[in-house]
Amino acid sequence: MPTIDIVNTKGEKVSQAELAEGLFGVPVNPHVLHEVVTLQLSRRRSGTASVKNRSDIIGSGRKLFRQKGTGRARRGDIKSPLLRGGGVVFGPKPKTYDYKIPKRVMRAALKMALSSKLTEKNLLVLDRLELDEIKTKKFLETIEPLNLNHALIVISEKNGNLELSTRNLPNITVLRSEGLNVYDVLNHKQLVLLESTIKDIEGRLLK
């Protein structure tokens, strides 16, 4: 069973924690991680692109000129896709890019993502992280000893001061444990867990 040091915001070791083998000691399969990340990115697509086809255009249905005798190509009404302002042929319509992946695969991918952070030594466990006020400068001063330059911080419950103090920082993301996902874990170089979140994650993934 892997163990990890628990540190305070000054980077000093205060205790140790045992991590579940089935959560932080899982072999990593890049193909599974790729499948889940691709699904998450697909779900983020809005799918709202839309065009007007011939039937959606407002215009007269009168034939522009007679069929024969003019020497010109045969022409229908003004809504023809061949004319400026006409409808679009086979253009995009609102759709969803969502598809399904088995829950066990999603769960396994999250375990792999967590295990990869431990293997790469990019996992940090803090005993606590609290702010007295909403202030980005104060937050940066607090985490300065930890050298967090691109980190995902996972908390166990709502923490308004912390969440609001970090929302303008492009390289720091604060996420509650119930929202932990593969993409955010892999998209950040460092993963920071509060000590209280470990039990929450184990309870969610080791059922």
How sure is the predictor about 18, in pLDDT bands with cuts at 50, 70 and 90? Answer: confident
How sure is the predictor about 1, in pLDDT bands with cuts at 50, 70 and 90? Answer: confident
pTM of the model: 0.83
What is the structure's pLDDT at 140? 93
In the predicted structure, residue 155 carries a pLDDT above the cut 80:
yes
What is the structure's pLDDT at 2? 84
Domain ranges of the chain: 3-46+99-205, 51-91
**Distance (Å, whole) CA 80 – CA 127:** 68
Statement: 3-46+99-205 belongs to CATH 3.40.1370.10: yes
